[in-house]
């Protein structure tokens, strides 16, 4: 069995093929970075999001990680446009209405010192008159574009979004576009949230 951690760059599809969606320009896929046969992503990460993506050929392990009943937390660092008030953060913590559903309560806090991340290519839009802030948001659910919709709902559009942790495993020492096998101890960090009984 293979268990991989990948630092997905901005504007890379979380799949190994271009898919059926029409595109005037070929988009980068996982196949541009990972040449390991028969592994598949655990869940997905939006085309315009960055960060931790797990891949495996272990179908049972994959299913347990994406099954909402196990409540596996996912942590994101989010650069937003505007200043985050205590009231706005409390709305994220309490859960809020988005489209036709209400989000579960999230963990949300300010990141006082901006994280030391390499510049994004292409860079985010910069407007001198509007401040930006960094938030750390942890969810136990993963609906489509949920973090972006949550920050938009509190008046703080997302500029940059990076997933930095799944369960107890944090993305570390991997540059954008790099991958490696998870170690046995790292797999153990994911077990409490998945019920994984791998020996």
Q: Which of 180, 160, 158 is nearest to 169 (CA)?
A: 180
- What are the residue numbers of the active site? 46
Distance in angstroms (rounded) separating the CA atoms of residues 180 and 178: 7
Are 111 and 49 contained in the same domain? no
Are 77 and 162 contained in the same domain? yes
Are 148 and 101 contained in the same domain? yes
pLDDT at 56 (0 to 100): 96
Q: Are strands 158-166 and 50-56 parallel, antiparallel or unpaired?
A: parallel
- Which pLDDT band holds residue 151 (cuts at 50, 70, 90)? very high
Q: Which of 151, 184, 190, 188 is nearest to 43 (CA)?
A: 190
- What is the average pLDDT score of the chain? 88
pLDDT at 154 (0 to 100): 95
Are 60 and 108 contained in the same domain? no
Are 78 and 159 contained in the same domain? yes
pLDDT at 190 (0 to 100): 82
Can you tell me the mean pLDDT for 104-115?
A: 93
Are 53 and 108 contained in the same domain? no
The pLDDT tens digits of the residues spanning 156-179 come to 999 999 999 998 899 988 999 999
Residue 106: CATH number of its domain = 3.30.70.1560
Number of H helices, E strands in the chain: 4, 11
Total structural domains within the chain: 2
Domain that holds residue 116: 73-166
Distance in angstroms (rounded) separating the CA atoms of residues 9 and 49: 8
Token pair 């320009």: residue: 25
Dihedral of alpha carbons 124, 80, 78, 12, sign? negative
């Amino acid at each position: 069995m293979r268990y991989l951690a990948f630092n997905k760059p901005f504007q890379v599809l979380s799949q190994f093929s271009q898919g059926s969606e029409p595109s005037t320009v070929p988009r980068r896929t996982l196949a541009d970075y990972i040449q390991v046969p028969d592994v598949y992503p655990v869940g997905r990460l939006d085309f315009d999001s960055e960060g931790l993506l797990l891949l495996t050929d272990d179908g049972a392990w994959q299913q347990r990680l994406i099954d909402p009943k196990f409540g596996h937390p996912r942590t994101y660092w989010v650069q937003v446009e505007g200043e985050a008030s205590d009231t706005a953060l409390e709305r994220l913590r309490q859960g809020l209405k988005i489209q036709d559903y209400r989000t579960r309560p999230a963990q949300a806090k300010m990141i006082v010192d901006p994280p030391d991340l390499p510049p994004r290519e292409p860079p985010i839009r910069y407007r001198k008159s509007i401040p930006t802030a960094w938030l750390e948001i942890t969810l136990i659910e993963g609906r489509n574009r949920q973090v972006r919709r949550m920050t938009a709902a509190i008046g703080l559009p997302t500029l940059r979004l990076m997933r930095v942790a799944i369960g107890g495993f944090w993305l570390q020492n991997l540059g954008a576009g790099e991958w490696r096998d998870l170690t046995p101890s790292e797999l153990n960090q994911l077990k409490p949230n998945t019920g994984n009984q791998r020996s």
